Amino acid sequence: MMHRRGNEASLRYEARRQREDESPRLHAEVPTLESLKLEIEERRGNASNPETTYIRRIVVESAPALFALVCGERDCEDGGHDITYAVMAGLRRGSTKFEGEDVCHGSVRTTTCGRVLHYKATATYRP
């Protein structure tokens, strides 16, 4: 059982890495982007206070144009937050501050995960 899970995890990791490798680079998509910071808050679906908060600084020169964040729920399977579309839309608009939410659709044992991720993006651009 443990063995099978381990294999699945490494397969998922491989798929994720492959996707990152195949994605266009961020600087190619938004050439004027100078810096990007994401403030992430995660909470369980029914809680009002965030359980996890962290800041992710994106290395603009080398990062892929892909924002797929893992779910913070330990037992969540096939979950995660792909905010690529929303973040890229904000950057293409040239927004310096924008935010949004994403609900995890993974499963925790017999129910859906439903963990809510809230992100606040702060970006700067070259003139």
Among 33, 71, 87, 91, binds Zn ion (CB under 5 A): 71
Instruction: Report whether 115 contacts 87 (CB < 8 A).
Output: no
Q: Does 69 bind Zn ion (CB under 5 A)?
A: no
Cβ proximity to Zn ion: between 3 and 109 the closer is: 109
Give the range of 24-32, 48-56, 84-92, 115-123 binding Zn ion by CB under 5 A: 115-123
Residue with tokens 């294999």: 7
Among 26, 33, 76, 87, binds Zn ion (CB under 5 A): 76
| Strands lying side by side in the sheet with 97-103 | 52-58, 33-43, 116-125, 97-103
> Dihedrals φ, ψ of 11, to 5°?
-65, -45
Given candidates 65, 66, 79, 81, which one binds Zn ion under the rule CB under 5 A? 79
72 binds Zn ion, rule: CB under 5 A:
no
116 binds Zn ion (CB under 5 A): no
DSSP characters over 46-80 = T-SS-SEEEEEEE-TTT-BS--EEPPS-TTEES--
Give residue number: closest CB to Zn ion: 79
